[in-house]
């Protein structure tokens, strides 16, 4: 008889999967288990149309959760067989996952699952990552470069990224639906979703991060004053085309990059605001080494060693995002 994971294993894995980053921490995913098979849906009620009018970022978010799930299941002794977009008549069904047991779990696989709980989105200024030349090959090896391309931008490209950020901000300045969304998702009254003030850069800290989304100022603290300028490396994940399948694969690659960086002791911050506006996305595209569609940027750097790990951002209760049929 073919073994299948029990419900508690699936619950634990979905809890870890839901620690994946998502646009404005909107958590646009739904999970459904039936007869040992797990299905991942995009939840259209949790999308952010003012920010993500194309729906691309929600799919990327779900892709990150899908990869997180595979990492969690592998650490629990199960291999994930993923069928992406299994039903052409069901556009919200992104993946169907079946499982088979494995005989051995490595220490690295366990550490990768542990990294899910250690990872945070760090919007504060970061120091330059150390030993980057040694780390970059391992980072590239973590993704399938035939489906998603990783570019590490040169330091002298930063001025163009700053220009792209200014262009994106100017385009969005009078976009009321976008501004209202930003205000809502950073509201102190949001309990299980959104971005809490502790996870945002304050008005003083924000000035030291030249390439970052401008959120409403929620505090005036000045953390990490010893890092006067952001020296993070900036990575770009790109895909050959701009399809839903490309976006899902990009999300999976995003998860792999974030966890690899976390395991190496590096801090990360996912950036999508430069991709949401056509004009700024074109600036990013011109910085790539190949003709591809940029999907997401990632700041990677070092947080001061004495920094206290911030509390995890909130997540919706498991019962709201997962059901067993």
Q: What is the DSSP letter of 157?
A: G
Quick one: pLDDT at residue 87?
Answer: 83
- Residue 103 and residue 143 share a domain: no
CA angle 283/284/289 to nearest 5° reads 115
- Residue 217 and residue 161 share a domain: yes
Count the domains in the chain: 2
- Residue 179 and residue 99 share a domain: no
- Does residue 2 belong to any structural domain of this protein? no
- Does residue 126 belong to any structural domain of this protein? no
- Beta strand 29-34 pairing with 293-301: unpaired
- Does residue 306 belong to any structural domain of this protein? no
CATH number at residue 146: 3.40.109.10
- Residue 18 and residue 113 share a domain: yes
- Residue 143 and residue 105 share a domain: no
| Residue 95 near residue 86, CB atoms below 8 Å | yes
Helix or strand holding residue 207 (H, E): none
The first and second tokens of residue 320, run together, are 């709201």
- Residue 175 and residue 85 share a domain: no
Quick one: pLDDT at residue 132?
Answer: 96
Quick one: pLDDT at residue 207?
Answer: 92
- Does residue 127 belong to any structural domain of this protein? no
- Residue 139 and residue 115 share a domain: no
Helix or strand holding residue 236 (H, E): strand 233-239
- Residue 202 and residue 318 share a domain: no
Helix or strand holding residue 27 (H, E): none
Quick one: pLDDT at residue 191?
Answer: 81
- Residue 46 and residue 146 share a domain: no
Q: How far is CA 18 from CA 65, 295, 304, in A?
A: 6, 21, 27
| Residue 124 near residue 209, CB atoms below 8 Å | yes
Quick one: pLDDT at residue 147?
Answer: 95
- Residue 157 and residue 95 share a domain: no
Neighbours of 170 (CB within 10 A): 12
Quick one: pLDDT at residue 219?
Answer: 86
- Does residue 24 belong to any structural domain of this protein? yes
- Does residue 1 belong to any structural domain of this protein? no
- Does residue 124 belong to any structural domain of this protein? no
Domain that holds residue 114: 7-119+313-324
- Does residue 141 belong to any structural domain of this protein? yes
| Residue 253 near residue 237, CB atoms below 8 Å | yes
- Residue 318 and residue 297 share a domain: no
- Residue 234 and residue 153 share a domain: yes
From first to last of its 325 residues, what are the pLDDT tens digits of the chain?
467 899 999 999 999 999 999 999 999 999 999 998 999 999 999 999 999 999 999 999 999 999 999 999 999 999 999 999 998 668 899 999 999 999 999 999 999 999 999 999 999 999 999 999 999 999 999 999 999 999 999 999 999 999 999 999 999 999 999 999 999 999 987 789 999 988 999 999 999 999 999 998 888 899 999 999 999 999 999 999 999 999 999 999 999 999 999 999 999 999 999 999 999 999 999 999 888 999 999 999 999 987 777 888 999 999 999 999 8
């Amino acid at each position: 008889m073919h073994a299948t994971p029990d419900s508690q294993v699936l619950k634990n894995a979905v809890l870890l999967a839901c620690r994946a980053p998502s646009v404005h921490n909107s958590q646009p995913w739904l999970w459904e288990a039936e007869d040992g098979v797990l299905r991942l849906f995009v939840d259209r009620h949790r999308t952010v149309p003012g920010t993500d009018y194309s729906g691309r970022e929600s799919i990327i978010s779900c892709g990150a959760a899908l990869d997180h799930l595979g990492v969690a299941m592998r650490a629990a002794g199960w291999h994930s067989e993923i069928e992406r977009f299994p039903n052409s008549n069901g556009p919200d069904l992104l993946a169907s996952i079946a499982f088979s047991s494995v005989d051995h779990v490595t220490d690295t696989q366990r550490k990768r699952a542990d990294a899910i709980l250690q990872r945070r989105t760090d919007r504060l200024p970061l120091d330059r990552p150390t030993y980057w030349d040694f780390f970059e090959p391992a980072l590239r090896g973590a993704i399938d470069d035939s489906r998603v391309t990783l570019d590490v931008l040169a330091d002298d490209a930063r001025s163009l990224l700053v220009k792209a950020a200014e262009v994106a901000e100017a385009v969005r300045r009078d976009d009321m639906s976008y501004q209202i969304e930003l205000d809502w998702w950073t509201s102190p009254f949001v309990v299980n979703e959104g971005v809490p003030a502790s996870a945002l850069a304050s008005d003083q800290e924000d000035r030291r991060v030249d390439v970052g989304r401008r959120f409403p100022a929620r505090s005036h603290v000045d953390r990490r004053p010893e890092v006067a300028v952001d020296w993070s490396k900036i990575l770009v994940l790109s895909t050959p085309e701009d399809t839903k399948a490309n976006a899902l694969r990009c999300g999976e690659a995003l998860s792999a990059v974030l966890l690899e960086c976390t395991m190496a002791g590096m801090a990360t911050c996912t950036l999508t605001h430069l991709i949401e506006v056509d004009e700024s996305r074109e600036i990013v595209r011109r910085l790539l080494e190949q003709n591809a569609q940029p999907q997401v940027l990632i700041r990677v750097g070092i947080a001061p060693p004495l920094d206290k790990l911030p509390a995890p951002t909130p997540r919706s209760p498991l019962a709201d995002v997962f059901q067993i049929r």
